Amino acid sequence: MKLPDFLQSAALNELRSKMKAPLGEFEPVSLPPLTLSLSEQEQLQESGIEIPLEEVRIAEDQRLTYKEAHVVLYIRTPVSDNLPKFHICDCTKLRQMRANHRFDRYVVSNREDGHFEIEQSGQKKVLHLDVCQYCLGQMKWMGFSYEKIRPEDRQKIVKNFSLKEFFNQYGHITSQRKSP
Ligand SMILES: [Zn+2]
C-alpha cells in the first residue's frame, strides 16, 4: 500500500504554517505507550475509566497509576447497598481482590471532589465515596493507623480526607514522566 505524501498537501502545509510548527525530522519512534489521550484525561476527571485490575500499575511508593496518571480506584457496581470505598494505594484489600481474581468492574479516576460514578440496580449515580482505611493506614495519611487510633478518630480522618490535597501533594502525573 502506498501512503500519500502529506508533505505535498496544501491544506496541511497551510495548517502547519499557521501553527508556526517547523517541519520536524522524522523519528521512527512511536508515541510512548503510557501517554493518555485527551479523551482519557477527560474521562479520568469525569466518569472514570473502566479497566481490568491488571492494568493498574503500582508506583514505588505503592500509589496507583494508570498510564502516566496517578489515580484512585473503586468498583463501579457495588454488590450490596454499602457504597464502595475508593483506594489510593495498593492496600491489603486491593491485594486480596487481585489474589481472589474478582471480576468486578474496576474504575480508575482522578477526580478531586470525592464524587464518583457508580451503578446501582442498573442506574448511574454520582455519589460521594469514602476513602479506604487500609489505604490511609498504608500511606500513614495524617498519622492514620488502624491499630493506634480510636475508631471515631479514624472516621474523622476519613471524613476530612481531601483528594485535592492528596493530588496536590503527590501530583497528577507520575514521576517517571517528569524526568527530563
Ligand atoms: Zn484500599
pLDDT tens digits for 47-81? 999 999 889 999 988 999 999 899 999 999 987 77
Q: What's the CA-to-centroid distance between 157 and ligand 1, angstroms?
A: 14
The answer to whether position 77 is within a domain reads: yes
**Residue 24 resides in a domain:** no
CA of 91 to the centre of ligand 1 (A): 5
CA of 134 to the centre of ligand 1 (A): 5
Mean pLDDT of 119-135: 93
Rg, Å, the chain Cα set? 21
What residue type is assigned to position 130 of the chain? Answer: D
72, 85, 96: which is closest to 154 by C-alpha? 85
48 contact partners, CB below 8 Å, separation of at least 6: 74, 76, 107, 108, 109, 111, 116, 117
Residue 179 located in a structural domain: no
Model-level pTM? Answer: 0.77
Residue 25 has a pLDDT of 59
Split at pLDDT 50, 70, 90, the class of 18 is: confident
Highest mean pLDDT pick, 65-74, 77-86, 168-177: 65-74
Residue 149 Cα to ligand 1 midpoint, Å, equals 17
Count up the domains in the chain and report the number: 1
pLDDT of residue 80: 77
Q: How far is the CA of 121 from the centre of ligand 1 (A)?
A: 24
Tell me, yes or no, whether 19 lies in a domain.
no
pLDDT above 70 covers a percentage of the chain that reads 88
- Is residue 53 in a domain? yes
Q: Is residue 33 part of a domain?
A: no
Residue 156: domain span:
38-173
Look at residue 59 and tell me if it is in a domain: yes
Provide, rounded to the nearest whole percent, the portion of the chain with pLDDT above 90: 56
Q: Does residue 12 lie in a domain region? A: no
